[in-house]
Amino acid sequence: MKKKRIYRNPDPEKYIIVRTKEGDVLRAKRTDPFINESFKKMSSETCSGAAKQIVDRLKPFTEKMGGRMNVRLSGKIRIANYQTGSYNYSLLPGFELQKHYHLENLYAGQYKVRKEGQTVYIEIPVSKGCVKAQNTLVTHYYFEAVAIFGDAMVPNSLRVEDDKSQLFDFGKTYKTTVCFSFVVPPNTAYLIWLKAGCMEGKEAACHPMHYGMKVVAAG
């Protein structure tokens, strides 16, 4: 992927250009170095710890995936705190776990997510061509939903539930719907992820491009 480059600073008195591995970003200058540096350190440590806890609980479902998951997730939580005044999951719906390999890269259909009472339902129509084979090695595909309950800002507070579909053969035609559901405990923060993945025979596909995973519900 081509990295974003910023060659002109629109307002040098207010902004600086920061070079990162993923491209350039504009960052506001700090007005009070001591206060801002202290806040930045505290915010960074809190968000990084929360992101790490989430990513650690997702490890059984992300073995073949890649990218700077912790950094990007931490950034979203940090921005939510800046915008709302609290650390929360408000900016995570639609968050793709892999920056360059999205769920929509694989699944071309229209899944539906709804919440009725305390239950979140996910419906995924399956038909011929709904999942795109990225090469000729993959033989089957599947769907998986993962629910994380609890406040990631509190250490060792997360609980995980998951559900997985049958394997679907790329060479066969289907007309069915995969359904997942999770009951959210009252007054509990939650993240629900939807994943599509591929198999190479009896083995999980090796390359990250054969997987997509995103947050489809949060609260």
Burial class (CB in 10 A: 0-12, 13-18, 19+), 73: buried
pLDDT of residue 41: 47
Structure token digits, residue 95: 């968050």
For residue 106, pLDDT over 70 is answered with: yes
Average pLDDT over residues 151-162: 94
Q: What are phi and psi of 218, to 5 degrees?
A: -155, 155
For residue 138, pLDDT over 90 is answered with: yes
Average pLDDT over residues 29-46: 52
- Determine which helix (DSSP H) or strand (DSSP E) holds 146, and give its type and residue range: strand 140-149
| pLDDT tens, residue by residue, 109-120 | 999 999 999 999
Distance from CA of residue 184 to its chain's centroid?
A: 19
Longest CA span, the chain: 63
Average pLDDT over residues 126-148: 97
| Confidence class for position 38, pLDDT limits 50, 70, 90 | very low
For residue 135, pLDDT over 60 is answered with: yes
| Candidate from 55-59, 79-83, 140-144, 193-197 with smallest mean pLDDT | 79-83
- Determine which helix (DSSP H) or strand (DSSP E) holds 213, and give its type and residue range: strand 211-218
Structure token digits, residue 145: 């939903």
Strands 119-127 and 112-116: antiparallel
- Report which DSSP code applies to 171: T
Structure token digits, residue 4: 């974003």
Q: Could you give the CA distance from residue 25 to residue 170 in angstroms, rounded to a whole number?
A: 41
For residue 35, pLDDT over 50 is answered with: no
SS3 208: helix
For residue 104, pLDDT over 80 is answered with: yes
Q: What percent of the chain has pLDDT over 90?
A: 66
Q: What are phi and psi of 44, to 5 degrees?
A: -65, -45
Q: What is the mean pLDDT of the chain?
A: 89
Instruction: Domain ranges for the chain, please list them.
Output: 25-219
